[in-house]
């Protein structure tokens, strides 16, 4: 029988942010795959789970080079997908660990697509993980959305020319992949007046984390790839509702206001 592939989100860094489901799968599958940027290297996702995975499991570090040369990258991804397909065909269940959540900008998504092309009979289960943006919101106290605020999540490296528009348009903005373009991000924040409400989080929730409101201090520093900038609105949402006389406030949806099944209303 063909094995099953689990795409396991392992959260943003702290091992105790691993979900119970991820823990159960990682302690029972015979093969664990983790993505590394160089052959033989460890990886951030592996460091999160290494104390959980039993010594009896086979651990495969697969290389995913950090590059945007798609013509060179896709054959490497395809080879990795084939290696996983071979394990599944041999009847082994495989957990592919990915930092954060597997459905948000993760390497696992490329693997799933290529694996299903190679091995359409494979069963794939996604195990959600806490995304880095949730970890960053908790660390900075910046809400990802309050009331009717709208949120944009944007990879900064791909949309440098659109940064100002995004910062003008959206209430809350999460800029992913900022490490290489931080000076441009800071300039856009200054021009749009949003620097005072921005925070930078690098390797958030891990032991080596950086959490700061002082983005300028990091303008010319080399930052880890696992860095994001979270831009919020000034706090005081409820006060604003009251001082606007409630005119702009959207009334609560009755469904939203109803107690959940099985809960008593207060
Ligand atoms: C390829 S995406 C992966 C996102 C991940 N799947 C998630 O759910 O958070 C990588 C980007 O996510 C952000 N990121 C991931 N982990 C992070 C962390 N622990 N602290 C800050 N940013 C992080 C960074 O912006 C990084 O460039």
CATH number at residue 154: 3.30.950.10
DSSP string, 147-170: TT--EEEEEGGG-GGGHHHHHHH-
What is the C-alpha separation between 103 and 115, in angstroms, rounded? 16
Our CA angle for 201, 206, 207, nearest 5°, is 110
Q: Is residue 11 located within the same domain as residue 96?
A: yes
Residue 11: strand, helix, or coil: strand
- Mutational pocket test of ligand 1: of 226, 229, 230, the residue with most ligand atoms within 8 Å of the beta carbon: 226
Which whole-number Å values give the CA distances from 137 to 91, 151, 157, 179, 209, in the listed order?
A: 41, 12, 21, 18, 14
Question: Does residue 83 lie in a domain region?
Answer: yes
Domain span holding position 191: 132-243
As for how many domains the chain has, the answer is 2
Q: Which atom of ligand 1 is nearest to the CA of 106?
A: 6
Q: What is the largest CA-CA distance in the chain?
A: 66
Q: Which two tokens stand for residue 95?
A: 């957990």
Residue 191: predicted pLDDT = 95
Amino acid 40: pLDDT = 78
- Could you tell me if 69 and 146 lie in one domain? no
Residues ≥6 apart with Cβ < 8 Å to 230: 133, 136, 137, 140, 142, 172, 173, 174, 175, 198, 199, 201
**Who lines ligand 1 at CB under 6 A?**
12-13, 99-101, 104-106, 131-132, 135-136, 176-177, 201-204, 225-228
Q: Are residues 99 and 86 part of one domain?
A: yes
Measured in Å, residue 24 CA sits from the centre of ligand 1 at: 24
**Per-position pLDDT tens, the chain of length 266:** 899 999 999 999 999 999 999 999 999 999 999 998 887 788 999 999 999 999 999 999 999 888 878 888 899 999 999 999 999 999 999 999 999 999 999 999 999 999 999 899 999 999 999 999 999 999 999 999 999 999 999 999 877 778 999 999 999 999 999 999 999 999 999 999 999 999 999 999 999 999 999 999 999 999 999 999 999 998 888 888 888 865 554 545 555 555 555 554 43
Distance CA 162, CA 169 (A): 11
Residue bearing the CA closest to ligand 1, atom 22: 227
Per-residue tokens: 137: 């919101």
CB half-sphere exposure, 77, CA atoms < 13 A: 21
pLDDT (0 to 100) of residue 54: 98
Give yes or no: residues 108 and 166 share one domain: no
Residues near 165 by beta carbon (within 8 Å), at least 6 away in sequence: none
Distances (CA, A) of 51 to 15, 30, 35: 9, 15, 17
Taking the model in full, what pTM does it have? 0.90
| Ligand 1 atom with least separation from CA of 102 | 6
pLDDT value of residue 158? 73
* Judgement on whether residues 55 and 118 belong to the same structural domain of the protein: yes
Q: Tell me which H or E stretch contains 136.
A: helix 132-140
Q: Can you tell me which atom of ligand 1 is nearest the CA of 206?
A: 19
The answer as to whether 252 is a domain residue is: no
pLDDT at residue 170, as a whole number: 97
- Say whether 156 sits in a helix, a strand or coil: helix
CATH code for the domain of 18: 3.40.1010.10
C-alpha–C-alpha distance, residues 17 and 139, integer Å: 13
Structure tokens at 242: 């009251």
Residue having the nearest C-alpha atom to atom 18 of ligand 1: 203
Can you say whether residue 30 is alpha, beta or left, with left for phi > 0 and alpha for psi between -120 and 50 degrees? alpha
74 assigned to some structural domain: yes
- Do 79 and 177 lie in one domain? The reply is no
Statement to judge: residues 67 and 138 lie in one domain = no
């Amino acid at each position: 029988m063909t094995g099953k592939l689990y795409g396991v989100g392992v959260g943003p860094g702290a091992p105790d942010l691993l979900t119970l489901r991820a823990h159960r799968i990682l302690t029972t599958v015979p093969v664990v795959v983790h993505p590394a940027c160089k052959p033989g290297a460890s990886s951030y996702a592996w460091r999160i789970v290494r104390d959980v995975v039993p010594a009896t499991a086979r651990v495969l570090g697969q290389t995913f080079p950090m590059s945007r040369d798609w013509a060179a990258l896709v054959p490497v991804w395809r080879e990795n997908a084939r290696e996983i397909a071979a394990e599944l065909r041999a009847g082994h269940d495989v957990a592919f660990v990915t930092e954060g959540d597997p459905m948000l900008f993760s390497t696992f998504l490329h693997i799933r697509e290529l694996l299903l092309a190679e091995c359409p009979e494979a069963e794939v289960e996604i195990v959600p993980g806490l995304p880095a943006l949730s970890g960053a919101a908790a660390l900075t106290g910046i809400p990802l959305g309050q009331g009717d605020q709208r949120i944009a999540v944007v990879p900064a490296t791909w949309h440098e020319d659109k940064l100002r528009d995004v910062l003008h348009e959206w209430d809350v903005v999460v800029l992913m992949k900022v490490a290489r373009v931080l000076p441009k991000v800071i300039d856009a924040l200054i021009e749009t007046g949003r620097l005072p409400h921005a925070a930078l989080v690098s390797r958030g929730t891990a032991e080596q984390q950086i959490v700061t409101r002082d983005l300028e201090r990091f303008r010319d520093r080399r930052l880890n790839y696992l860095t994001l900038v979270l831009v919020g609105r000034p706090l005081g949402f409820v006060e604003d509702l009251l001082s606007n006389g409630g005119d702009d406030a959207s009334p609560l949806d009755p469904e939203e206001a109803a107690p959940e099944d099985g809960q008593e209303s207060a």
